A and B are shown apart, each in its own frame.
Chain A
Amino acid sequence: MNKKSFLFLGAITLWTLSPVLAGTSIAASAKDNYRTYCAQCHGIAGNGRGINIRDMSVQPRNHTDAEYMSQRSDDDLAKADREGGLAIDKSVLMPPWGDTLSPSEIQDMVQYLRTLCHCKYNSQ
């Protein structure tokens, strides 16, 4: 193997590892919880297009939509996750997850949602 291809391989390895390395601050379990509990409606990609949506009268939120998600505070998102749509005057089709996820798992989930929208709360 010559020097060039060695460097190239090194770069590829770093590049593939970087999301893993960066992601370690957010509990890996949040991603697993999302795949298990949220993807059925919000989609494997978090785009609001899960397998369940065809007949739903209100469509699940697109979690990659930075414009919408940046208007919601972390507390708003945590409340929706924990208590469901009705608790925030939204659709009953968004279920409450307070009996499934622990309070710390819900906090981790909010941080995970922030990685899906690549956005922070922006109050204006």
Chain B
Amino acid sequence: MKERLRTLRIYPALLALGGVVVAFSSAWAGEDAGMSLLNNRCASCHNLRGPAPSSIHALWARKAPDLFYAGNKFRRKWLISWLQKPVRIRPAGEFYADHIKPGPKRDMVDESTLKPHLALSAADAKLAADALMKLRAHDDLIAKEQVPEGTISTSMGSLVFDKFLGCMACHRIRKDFGGLSGPELYTAGERLKPRFMASYIRSPQAWDPKIWMPNKHVSDTRIIQLVHYLQALSKGGSHE
């Protein structure tokens, strides 16, 4: 009899606890359908947790760009559309030196080694984009940047980008002009957040310690000009 009384007293407590657990886990599942999509279909190539490679050999082994700071980097709208219709961003893929071969005049990209990116349905793209936007390991770096709205003529912008700073050596600023070892930048304004661009130009190593983009010690004024220029390019600003 005593035993039964005790059980009776414990019951409501157990029930309440159970209720809390159920409520929690369903909220969890709702929130994380996107995250489990990333874990199941993306994590085999992309690093979703960090940190970035800290040695050359880890850099070489990286199969795809890091996504653990995707929410600091990308514009959500671009993610949703690119994930449905992915196109090449890095002309020589990742890691670039694994995708080049000697050519008659210069080294060439070995296209046969580059594979198309998987595409998602509209619903999955939205789910993935929302989960990616929550990965923000570098709020600290973004907080240091201010990019006021502004414009720059594309002729002044290209002078800064090509002649003063030599960025064209590795980046394309038109489909058919520029270097191949870095991501193309004529769509950077659509793809990237302005404060990410500013921060990355200030110190690529702060984001990715072993990356093959050098720190050129670009001044604050020039950084703002460059961001405005990249924004102008992706708005279809003509380039001469």
Q: A49-B107, A96-B216 are in contact. Are A55 and B178 (CB under 8 A)?
A: yes
- The answer to whether A51 has its CB under 8 Å from any CB of chain B is yes
Specify which chain A residues have a CB less than 8 angstroms from the CB of B163 in the assembled complex: 92
Question: Main secondary structure on chain A at its contact with chain B?
Answer: loop
- Chain A residue total in the interface (Cβ 8 A): 30
Which of A1-9, A40-48, A116-124 lies at the interface?
A40-48
Query: Once the chains bind, are A51 and B106 in contact (CB under 8 Å)?
Result: yes
Query: Once the chains bind, are B205 and A99 in contact (CB under 8 Å)?
Result: yes
Query: Once the chains bind, are A51 and B177 in contact (CB under 8 Å)?
Result: no
The distance from the CB of B164 to the nearest CB of chain A, in whole angstroms, is 7
- The answer to whether A71 has its CB under 8 Å from any CB of chain B is no
A81 to B203, CA, bound (A): 18
CB-contact partner of B56 in A29, A55, A96, under 8 A: A29
- The answer to whether B159 has its CB under 8 Å from any CB of chain A is no
Which residues of chain B from 121 to 170 have a CB within 8 Å of any chain A CB?
163-166, 168-170
- The answer to whether A53 has its CB under 8 Å from any CB of chain B is yes
Specify which chain B residues have a CB less than 8 angstroms from the CB of A84 in the assembled complex: 214, 216
Q: A36-B59, A95-B214, A99-B215 are in contact. Are A43 and B166 (CB under 8 A)?
A: no
Query: Once the chains bind, are B181 and A45 in contact (CB under 8 Å)?
Result: no
Specify which chain B residues have a CB less than 8 angstroms from the CB of A41 in the assembled complex: 169, 179
Other than the given A49-B107, A100-B214, 13 more pairs (CB < 8 A) read: A29-B56, A36-B97, A37-B212, A40-B181, A44-B100, A45-B102, A51-B106, A52-B170, A55-B179, A84-B214, A93-B166, A95-B169, A95-B214
